[in-house]
Amino acid sequence: MRFRIERQDGFARIGELNGIKTPHLIDLRDEKDVEFFRKIAERKPPAVAERIFPSSLDFLKKEGIVRKITLKGANPREFAEMLLSRRDFKVPLYIPLIASPQNLSMLIYAGADIADNAYTLSKAHEGVFLTEIGEFRLDELRDVPCHCPACSGREEYRSEYEYLADHNTFALIRELLLSIKMLRSERLRDLVELRVKSNPELTAIMRIIDSKTESSAFFPRFRKSKLFPTSEDSQNRPEIQYYFQRLPEVYDPTSHICLLIPCSARKPYLISKTHRILRSRLGRAIRGVNEIIISSPFISPRELELIYPASLYDTPTTGMWSEWEIDFVSSRLAPLIDRFERIYAHLHGGYRKVAEKAGEKAGADIEFVDDVGELKRKLESEERSDFDLYHEMFRHMMRYQFGLEFGIERVKGKYPSLEFFRKERVARIDARYGNLDVYGELAVHLKERGVFCVEIDEFDVRGTIFSVGVRKADRNIRPNDVAVYFNSGIVGVGKALMPGKLMGEVDGRAIESRRKVISMS
């Protein structure tokens, strides 16, 4: 049996198991589908399921090579911890007996490659009508809130069970297709957050998983999808946790003066109307001053505003800040402002409350200035040493993305489409993912340092590099990372499609090549 991974996003993935696309749903009423999976499970099904379709479930009593984790009856903590501790990422994961339209996206997010419709059929036997936001007794529904083929042709069914079996399975299939679509769009987490709000146990499972995946190499640091942090649970997304973990590690301001300013609706901030007007009115006074932008749920030094997720997020702006938001943002601002001797702030409302609380936590004095003219005079009175903002952006993005310093000589392009040069181009801003794409000398430098590098077998690269061709990979590589691949004849740059720790260990697409930097052929 062969399982090939096409793409991975966190624990969720799209793959192929002997010609069948995953994530896959087994319809236990389909003899052909059941026959294919006859050898992939270990445990006996619950009695109620066996009464409904006894012969179809013979395969559930046998053991095969697909990893199976039975979670029926587990409480949220047991559910999450069993998934995280017992699964094997090298083989497909089958989670039987519990998939519903409400929880399927969560199961896929947690790593399920295969599920079945045992639960939906059991609920049909009980007269329960399933939806993606909950369950309803059919005899209590005046009108069914659905237009699936089963509901549209309900009068043609001979029994309530047959009708509900079809409807519940259609609802499950619809959720499966939506989950796959969101997974391909790198937005599965958005769907999961939407679904778990209607179920306390699912919310608990997501929170427990979040608490254990902060540093997981399975979750991307960069995405091409916009981030929508619309709830407190959004702040626990792995990419946001990673951002705030790295921020105090990489932030290295060159000035002793800091200016705190509010965010803008348009991203990146520097091209927004409000930030352009403010900088224009400050004129030369802003030179040599480090700026930190305050938002909810983000703070972003100007030097890192092109890094994901600060570069690609959108959040509701009502002017109303909850106490939780103020505490969350101020806690992450405090370690940054602690690095400055002088701190000015041009803030109002909730933004000012964030800065005040951050000042208290850092033991720092912040001078709030409402009038831009007065702010300009105060900044002009300070001793400042000018720095090149674009050079500092590159330096900070290198520190964030690769953990390295690398000097450049000049910058070209119109912001934010910047290109960085020595003698030749060494990097450019990739606005799709909010990171640096690398070229030439920088790629060779990464290879020499052994950072974000993948050693491959002796073959010429044309497009995709598969995992079986990988000899060794940096285990810090995450999906969507820029990675340098090499062998004795070539050095190239590509986008990682799976974590470095799985490259060479599983079957599937490891790297999507972008360009060769050195080729001996």
Report which of residues 38 and 263 the model is more confident about: 263
Positive or negative CA dihedral for 359, 360, 366, 370?
positive
% of the chain at pLDDT higher than 70:
92
Q: Looking at this protein, which amino acid is placed at residue 290?
A: N
- Give residue 235's pLDDT: 86
User: Who has greater pLDDT, 56 or 31?
Assistant: 31
* Span 37-90, pLDDT tens digits: 554 444 444 454 444 444 444 444 444 567 767 787 788 898 888 888 878 888
CATH number of 232-389: 3.40.50.10630
**Rounded percentage of the chain residues whose pLDDT exceeds 90:** 71
Give the pLDDT confidence score for residue 87 in this predicted structure: 80
User: 485, 494, 497, 493: which is closest to 459 by C-alpha?
Assistant: 485
Residue 521: per-residue pLDDT: 60
pTM for the full model?
A: 0.89
Q: Give the number of C-alpha atoms closer than 13 A to the C-alpha of residue 58, restricted to the C-beta side.
A: 8
Look at residue 57 in the predicted model and tell me its pLDDT.
Answer: 45
pLDDT at 48: 44
Task: Express each pLDDT in 285-323 by its tens digit.
Answer: 999 999 999 998 889 999 999 999 999 988 877 667 889
Domain ranges of the chain: 3-211, 232-389, 439-521
Domain 3-211 has CATH 3.90.950.20: no
pLDDT of residue 19: 84
List of residues 6+ apart from 239 with CB closer than 8 A: 219, 220, 221, 222, 223, 227, 308, 309
Q: Which residues pair with 296 in a beta bridge?
A: none
Question: 429-461: per-residue pLDDT in tens?
Answer: 999 999 999 999 999 999 999 999 999 999 999
| DSSP one-letter string for 139-195 | GG-SS-S--SHHHHTGGG-SSHHHHHHHHHHHHHHHHHHHHHHHHHTT-HHHHHHHH
Q: What is the rounded average pLDDT of the residues 386-393?
A: 96
Q: What angle do CA 122, 125, 126 make, to 5 degrees?
A: 95
CATH number of 439-521: 2.30.130.10
Kindly report, residue by residue over 219-238, the tens digit of the pLDDT.
999 999 888 887 888 888 99
Q: Which two tokens stand for residue 280?
A: 């224009």
User: Reduced to 3 states, what is the DSSP secondary structure of residue 122?
Assistant: helix
How many CA atoms within 13 Å lie on the side-chain side of 5? Answer: 33
- Evaluate if residue 384 carries a pLDDT over 80: yes
Q: For 504, phi and psi rounded to 5 degrees? A: 85, -10
- Residues 320-340, mean pLDDT to the nearest whole number: 93
What pLDDT is recorded for position 35? Answer: 54
